[in-house]
Structure 1
Amino acid sequence: MFVIATAGHVDHGKSTLVRALTGMEPDRWAEERARGMTIDLGYAWTTLPQGPTLAFVDVPGHERFIGNMLAGLGPAPAVMMVVSADEGWRAQSAEHLAAIDALGLQHGVLAVTRSDLADPAAATAQALHHIDGSTLRDVRAVAVSGITGLGLPALRQALAELVDRLPAPTVDGRVRLWVDRAFTIRGSGTVVTGTLGSGSLEVGDTLMLRDRPVRIRGLQSLGRPQHRVQAVARVAINLRGVTPHEIRRGDPLITPDAWASTNLVEARIRTEVDALPAEAVLHLGAGAFPVHVRPMGAGVVRLTLPVALPLQPGDRGILRNPGLGRLEGGVEILDVAPPLLQRRGAAGRRAAQLSAADQAQGVGEQVERRGAVPVAEMARLGVDIQDPADVLRVGDWLVSPSTWRRWASDLTAAVQRNDLAHPLQPGLSLPNARRAVDLPDGSMLRELAIAAGLEIVGPRVQRPGAAPSLGPAERGVKEIEKTLLASPFAAPERPDLDRLGLGRAQLAAAEKIGRILRLGDEVVVLPDAPARAVGLLAALPQPFTTSQARAAMSTTRRVAIPLLEHLDRIGWTRQLQPGLRTLTPSAPTVSV
């Protein structure tokens, strides 16, 4: 199916032409039929002899109903521009073409109606002249009459050629359907309609309506029940869990967790930004949304909406001045997650950056500006993330090369600072390393450490081969070693340790690298002291008392008791009763 909207001045025969093409009445209201003037959107469809099925969205031409016209035109991928041969180009012809141009529609056909009443040549030439300056450009013009049938075969052929040129829709993508009608059917409940531009819908699917899940109870397309409908299509959706009074024209129905809704966007606008009103209406999709307009310069504006919408870069809309009732210009969304503008001149610099871009910001520009972005978030923002050559993919994140280099440099510097300040404990704990560079996800830390020339050993990030350094404590440890080499069990007392600048941290570091052995907090000996003690204790009658052991080692109870308890723990001695021990078979044989 292909969806085509009509456009053109009031009473130029749009509805008559749709009726002639489809055999259906597009005007839904009795008032419309009585007055002979379309007021709201109408719908009709037909299958061409050439094969394609067309669904028409018939829009009103009167200037009072411009909002309804934009609601029908906004979601449509193609347009049938209608100009009457007897009246030619008129005010709403120009306004509708301005809307077509603002929305960037490139596919259409020109139908010159009432060609049975006047020579269509002049009206055709005039219309093509105006259209040539728009995004439609090279359209085929067909002279027709919706009353006599003149030219209808040629128009059907032109329409078949038109839809053959339309780009193929994305049928497996995410859904965003702008609701253009909501009503109740007795026995079925709430029904909404809209143009499905991408993705597919299936009975039983869950969609989101303004942060609220709704379930598809039934589907219809072209008046027939369907189990599944895929883009592009006009579709009626029977929803469960919502009433028609809770749905407004322009509400988006979207795939859950697939869109990032925003109420702040930056957009390019093709008009004088300084002349824009501060308060305007943004027509986008089938909706009309009040917006606050902030001109930034260089043809760029920042738009603030009262509600968050699922928008993406490349979306097009129209700004309308409600006070003057005129179209101010078309906008193209450039960024749906813009940065804060806090410094003087930031808006102008930002506008210049966006204006220099040829199109809506791609993945490289988005990631460069934000540093690092989850892959899932970029997908929700509508940014194409296929093979991003200008960014790094680290796990589930996209990271700009400049940010990655800065993180690596900051991590290296943080490790170096720590090693200087705490030589006894080189490197950083994993949580501290993550905080040091403000890393958004700890899962990136291992790859970042490699990039920085560091390594993760156990729970720490450190320089390759890093080991605790005693630093200023080296002198004190050497003095202790000298003393204990001469008298292995003459452990220095706390005042001596304090004098040497050896606190608990320094002693722990010295023990970690094998320079000393701590027997509790107050007793320090050399690592070979237990073996030396066993050699002396082996010369005693077994079992031996604590006093005998103390005398054999020529030391004090302050040293002897924690040393004997250490020998008990490592299994070289066994306490038979308080104050009485014996060596075990596990004790090494040591010559003293």
Structure 2
Amino acid sequence: MRPRGAGRFVTSRVVATAGHVDHGKSTLVRALTGMEPDRLAEERRRGLTIDLGFAWTRLPSGTDLAFVDVPGHERFVTTMLAGAGPVPAALVVVAADEGWMPQSGEHLDALDALGVEHGLLVVTRCDLLDPEPAREDALAELARSSLAPAGVVEVCAPRGEGLDDLRAALDGLVGAIPDPDPGADVRLWVDRAFSIRGAGTVVTGTLGAGTVRVGDELELGGRRVHVRGLQSLGAPAEAVRGVARVAVNLRGVPREAVVRGDALLTPDAWLAPAEVDVALRGVRGAELEPLPREVMLHVGSAAVTVRVRPLGGGFARLRPERPLPLRIGDRAVLRDPGRRAVVAGVEVLDVLPPALRRRGAAARRAVELAEPGGGTASGELGRRGAVRAVDLEAMGVPRAEIDAVEPAVRADGWLVAPARAKEAVSALAAAVRAHDAAEPLDPGLTIEAARRAADLPTAGLVAAVLAAFPPGPDAVRPQLRDGRVHLGRSRGLPERVRAAMDALRADLTANPFHAPEAGRLAELGLGARELAALVRAGELVAIADGVVLLPDAPDRAVDRLRGVGPEFTLSEARQALGTTRRVAVPLLEHLARAGCTERTDDVTHRLR
């Protein structure tokens, strides 16, 4: 018989079972699934969950539901957070004969900090004591958390009492959880890694979104790895999509190269920031207290020491001891191990934050972070001024939203906000004026000089921002011409050169193909540098060394030659243009290079 899940997509739902009473939790999971969640012999001997346990069952609706059984003892809170971090829902288990305990409170603090909104309260051991006091105390605690309001089920697992009600309540719980995007980028936080003889390294985790397929190439710790095989809920699969528990067999990866807290990622889709800016939130409605300089950040299955830089207004910059694949909107927990307490919930707001160098920069940054629009394409573009589209996507902004954001200047994979583009145009105008004043015979800026002056990331954006704000009739705005940025025609040229150009323009207007002789140029004071400056400014076109005409001369020449015939000789062209051989020969060569004419034989030319 073909194994369930083989050759098709596999998906399921996942909940974490949390609470102080380990024996009651494990008994409950065992009764629901018929599986033993406590894998270690010591756990079964002591009745104490030490590591993460995993089990699964099929609900009456046909939905497959996996359980991550987390430890309840205060010494294993880090392990508890590794199991609960990626899971979208939770069962909070309280024993009727023990009631609400301090460790139940820390588990709830962690779930609240993570923003877990879907959950059930399960009161166990109802055969030992009236469950009402434990239930009311627990509901009062849950009322101040993200899990409020939570449904309640009372059970006696050893007798099977209440289990049908619990299964029905679980069906309702998982049915209310939104379906994740199967096309999302993969981020599978590793919560367990082991090796199997003949198969190699296997890692497990809760896949929150996206799809993993056999044969996929993923990224692990900066290296590319390949998926050799998959299992979900104990059965082989060709593909698994979130939400689901998944075991991934990796090809060619040594067991010691993977630890809890690593993540399997879609290649080149995630940023690994050295710093992140976050919003802080007090736990269960409590006022946020000043944080220690160093705390533990729990995100996914990772637990990493971070340095905290308060920004003010409930915002902070965190610097983890190692980069983590984070995105805007990720939720995490800050815990002070010394106090053994969850001290804050975290929401990631920026994974590419700007440097804070100047006095007062932290306070200004807090004001920026408080502004609406964070995490959206328009908001992030407005906040940053210029950003790569791939970086926006890696931050967590949907690609469709990036493609649709308007108005934005786009080039070379970058987006520039309109306000930033206007600033760039103004900076270019000022830079061109300054350059032209210092180098009047070399007007305009090269593209690279213009890019630096406008503080744009790529040269292609220079043309893009100029095109977005074209010059008016007076040509006062900068414009791109012949590979340089200018401020209008001849703007910035010395007065004597402009006067000489006016005289030369009058000569050439009367006789457009009578290029001035050396004597006339000397009379006007136009040497090689001056002529080169006028050519760069677009006032003249050089068809040969020392042979210059007005810019429209080539087009006017083509118009005249059409009247000669489709084919003509050099002599016929010279006569039609009313010029000399000194001008006619290079002008025909210029037209040929431009694709306007071609040679048919040694003496004949033809218009194309």
Q: Shorter-chain TM-score: which interval?
A: 0.7 to 0.9
Which aligned pairs between 1:16-165 and structure 2 lie closer than 5 A? 16-165=27-176
Post-superposition shift, 1:309?
1.1
C-alpha change, 1:415 and 1:225, in structure 2 (3 Å) is: same
* SS across alignment from 2:298: strand
Which aligned pairs between 1:431-446 and structure 2 lie closer than 5 A? 431-446=448-463
Indicate whether 1:473 and 2:497 are aligned: yes
* SS across alignment from 1:147: helix
Residue in structure 2 matched with residue 311 of structure 1 by the alignment:
326
Post-superposition shift, 1:492?
4.9
Q: Tell me, which stretches of 5 or more residues in structure 2 are unaligned?
A: 1-11, 472-478, 548-552, 554-578, 589-602
Post-superposition shift, 1:274?
5.9
Which aligned pairs between 1:417-436 and structure 2 lie closer than 5 A? 427-436=444-453
* SS across alignment from 1:263: coil
CA deviations over 1:294-339 (Å, ceiling 9, x no partner) = 2222111211112111101111111111222222121111111111
C-alpha change, 1:179 and 1:478, in structure 2 (3 Å) is: closer
1:394 paired residue among 378, 392, 410? 410
> How far apart, CA to CA, are the structure 1 residues paired with 2:258 and 2:586?
77
> How far apart, CA to CA, are the structure 2 residues paired with 1:229 and 1:482?
78
Q: Give the conservation status (yes or no) of the 8 Å contact 2:490–2:498.
A: no
CA deviations over 1:447-467 (Å, ceiling 9, x no partner) = 322233245444344467769
2:291 paired residue among 260, 276, 284? 276
Post-superposition shift, 1:231?
0.8
> How far apart, CA to CA, are the structure 2 residues paired with 1:404 and 1:516?
34
Post-superposition shift, 1:45?
0.2
Residue in structure 2 matched with residue 351 of structure 1 by the alignment:
366
Q: Give the conservation status (yes or no) of the 8 Å contact 1:111–1:144.
A: yes
* SS across alignment from 1:309: coil
Residue in structure 2 matched with residue 506 of structure 1 by the alignment:
530
CA deviations over 1:391-420 (Å, ceiling 9, x no partner) = 515143222221011122233444455566
Q: Give the conservation status (yes or no) of the 8 Å contact 1:180–1:286.
A: yes
Post-superposition shift, 1:187?
0.8
Indicate whether 1:295 and 2:306 are aligned: no
Q: Give the conservation status (yes or no) of the 8 Å contact 1:207–1:254.
A: yes
C-alpha change, 1:22 and 1:514, in structure 2 (3 Å) is: closer
CA deviations over 1:110-165 (Å, ceiling 9, x no partner) = 11000111111121111111101100001110100111111000000000000010
Identity of aligned residues (%): 48
Report the AA paired with residue 529 of structure 2.
Answer: A
Indicate whether 1:367 and 2:418 are aligned: no
Q: Which shows bigger deviation, 447-456 or 171-180?
A: 447-456
TM score, norm. by length of structure 2: 0.79
Report the AA paired with residue 351 of structure 1.
Answer: A
Q: Which shows bigger deviation, 356-365 or 166-175?
A: 356-365
TM score, norm. by length of structure 1: 0.81
Report the AA paired with residue 295 of structure 1.
Answer: P
Residue in structure 1 matched with residue 231 of structure 2 by the alignment:
220
Q: Give the conservation status (yes or no) of the 8 Å contact 2:126–2:154.
A: yes
Post-superposition shift, 1:475?
5.5
Post-superposition shift, 1:353?
2.9
Count of residues paired in the alignment: 527
Residue in structure 2 matched with residue 378 of structure 1 by the alignment:
392
> Bigger radius of gyration, 1 or 2?
1
Residue in structure 1 matched with residue 596 of structure 2 by the alignment:
none
> How far apart, CA to CA, are the structure 1 residues paired with 2:406 and 2:201?
47
C-alpha change, 1:255 and 1:567, in structure 2 (3 Å) is: closer
CA deviations over 1:352-385 (Å, ceiling 9, x no partner) = 332x246854333322232111111110111245
C-alpha change, 1:519 and 1:198, in structure 2 (3 Å) is: closer
Q: Give the conservation status (yes or no) of the 8 Å contact 2:91–2:121.
A: yes
C-alpha change, 1:516 and 1:201, in structure 2 (3 Å) is: closer
Report the AA paired with residue 441 of structure 1.
Answer: T
Residue in structure 2 matched with residue 541 of structure 1 by the alignment:
none
Note the aligned Cα RMSD (angstroms).
Answer: 3.5
> How far apart, CA to CA, are the structure 1 residues paired with 2:161 and 2:504?
113
1:208 paired residue among 211, 219, 239? 219
> How far apart, CA to CA, are the structure 1 residues paired with 2:505 and 2:57?
99
Indicate whether 1:197 and 2:208 are aligned: yes
CA deviations over 1:152-193 (Å, ceiling 9, x no partner) = 000000000000100111111100010000001111000000
> How far apart, CA to CA, are the structure 1 residues paired with 2:22 and 2:205?
25
CA deviations over 1:73-118 (Å, ceiling 9, x no partner) = 1010000110111111111111111111110000001110001111
Residue in structure 2 matched with residue 590 of structure 1 by the alignment:
none
Report the AA paired with residue 49 of structure 1.
Answer: P
C-alpha change, 1:115 and 1:464, in structure 2 (3 Å) is: same
Q: Give the conservation status (yes or no) of the 8 Å contact 2:331–2:346.
A: yes
Indicate whether 1:232 and 2:239 are aligned: no
Post-superposition shift, 1:518?
9.3
Q: Which shows bigger deviation, 437-446 or 187-196?
A: 437-446
Query: Which structure carries more relative contact order (alpha carbon 8 Å, separation 6+)?
Result: 2
* SS across alignment from 2:26: helix
C-alpha change, 1:445 and 1:92, in structure 2 (3 Å) is: same
